[in-house]
Amino acid sequence: MTTRALIIDDEPDIRELLSITLNRMDISTEVAANVSQAKKLLESKTFNLCLTDMRLPDGSGLEIVQHVQKNIPELPIAVITAHGNMDTAVQAMKSGAFDFVNKPIDVNALRHLVNTAITSNQLTDSEQYDDQIIGDSPSIQALKVSIRKLARSQAPIYISGESGSGKELVARSIHNQGPRAKKPFVPVNCGAIPKELMESEFFGHKKGSFTGATQDKLGLFQAAEGGTLFLDEVADLPLDMQVKLLRAIQEKAIRPVGAHGEIITDVRILCATHKNLQRLVEADEFRQDLFYRLNVIQLNVPSLRDRGEDIPALAQYFLQRIDGGNSQPQTTLSKGALAELMRYSFPGNIRELENILERAYTLCDNSTIEVGDLLLSASQKISQKDNQPLNYYNNCLKYPSIDEYLAEVEKEILSDALEHVRWNKTLAAKKLGISFRSFRYRLSKLGLADDTDTE
């Protein structure tokens, strides 16, 4: 037996149960009945896993968690909590605990936890490396460090950030660098599921449980078994579904619609939203207890305007992918086009950068994308600070006359409207509140018209 675990509990029966279970998994065990004994063993021997009760005669399991985090941060430590005492478990995970298990201990759930912890302990730095996130700016380097650290834990993570900033990519990176990497990563957009189907989609259903249920169906929790369930736009969950999700997280069990009993699940929960969950809680639009469970650890994804030095690398990556994956993209950005991108504020973040380059790739006449091919919104090239009149004035100075500047603004507005409706000119005119005849005239005046401009 080369794998060793430390078990800390003041109840002999619990220590014996845990020891027998782990021994059958070919894991040797040492036991301690209190905090002082545990610290001596941790200082004198090497372990691959630590399990500790939260209530000990001479202190708290939280002391053990903090001791491990300070002195042996690579050691996964799980806490054993009384049934329903989720606040204690959350506090322990905030302090660095790997995961938790409830009393009375479910042996299958314990085995899942132990296997995941041992796998986490055996991860090497090379296995944890993940180059999906492009960029070397200070904010991205800090993000990558946080991801590598959090990937080993099983604590729920709330990923915050603006729309299009790459929150799902961060969630995938956490999954891929952790002990669950070989298991499913299941992303779900909470706002895209009809309210009446939500419970069935999340937890599954039994045949005949409702009209149309012609066969058993597995839910998202079961589809993600052993892996990670990523709840994107979690703020869009209705309040009644928030209650059911909270129970699933606390009990680590689900009840399919129409089933008589619960099913134990082993799923790590990651969630994200571009909305401010704290404000939604204050407005009674999101349950405070669910927010507390999901927000054990918060990870913020920086906006693209806060990591502008990464734009050249991101642009090259997207052009390479658009070119079919060539190691050296055949289509490149001119110096002027790159400079224009560097000045742009990217309200849509990385997703907008990708869309801009795909459009420019289609529009450019040769293998070089010029400024005119980018069709950037003029309003977003202006600094978004409070001194807007001065900014507009400075921007006008870049053009020979104010008429040319206003023409450029109008061109950008029309182009954006066309892009939004996939170049349906009739619909674009309607969106802008003008007649098709007026819209066609403006396109012609600005050199954007073609032979298909007919009603």
Of 211 and 143, more confident: 143
Contact 349, 385 (CB under 8 A): no
Separation CA 451–CA 36 (nearest Å): 84
Mean pLDDT confidence for 285-311: 94
CA–CA gap between residue 50 and residue 69 (Å, rounded): 12
What value does the mean pLDDT take over residues 41-49?
94
Residues 6+ apart with CB under 8 A from 88: 54, 79, 81, 82
Region 265-288: mean pLDDT is: 93
d(CA 219, CA 210): 15
Domain ranges of the chain: 3-122, 138-300, 305-445
| pLDDT at residue 49, rounded to an integer | 94
pLDDT of residue 222: 95
Report the phi/psi class of residue 381: left, alpha or beta, with left for phi > 0 and alpha for psi in -120 to 50: alpha
Residue entry with tokens 């900014």? 391
186 CB neighbour count, 10 Å cutoff: 18
Inter-residue contact 121 to 77 (CB < 8 Å): no
The pLDDT of residue 46 is 93
Q: Where are the beta strands (DSSP E) in 330-448?
A: 332-333, 368-369
The yes-or-no verdict on residue 388 having pLDDT over 80 is no
The reported pLDDT for the residue numbered 379 is 56
Q: State pLDDT tens for residues 69-81.
A: 999 998 999 999 8
What pLDDT was estimated at residue 350? 95
Average pLDDT over residues 37-41: 96
In single-letter form, the type of residue at position 364 comes to C
The answer for residues whose C-beta is within 8 angstroms of residue 140's C-beta and 6 or more apart is 133, 302, 307, 310
pLDDT at 154 over 80: yes
Nearest to 133 by CA among 181, 189, 174, 180: 174
**Structure-model confidence comparison of residues 39 and 106, the more confident one:** 39
**Fold matches, 3-122 and 138-300:** yes
Bigger pLDDT: 383 or 130?
Answer: 130
Q: What is the DSSP letter of 9?
A: -
Identify the pLDDT of residue 392. 44
**Structural domain 3-122, CATH architecture:** 3-Layer(aba) Sandwich (3.40)
CATH of domain 138-300: 3.40.50.300
- 305-445 CATH pick, 3.20.20.140, 1.10.150.20, 1.10.8.60, 3.30.420.40: 1.10.8.60
Whose tokens are 């941060």? That residue is: 73
Is the N-terminal amide bond of 104 cis, ω within 30° of 0? Answer: yes
pLDDT at 95 over 80: yes
Q: What is the pLDDT of residue 88?
A: 86
Helix, strand or coil for residue 355?
helix
Alpha helices by DSSP H, listed for 397-434, are: 402-420, 425-432
The C-alpha atoms of residue 83 and residue 104 are separated, in whole angstroms, by: 7
Query: What is the average pLDDT across 153-170?
Result: 94
Q: What is the pLDDT of residue 449?
A: 73
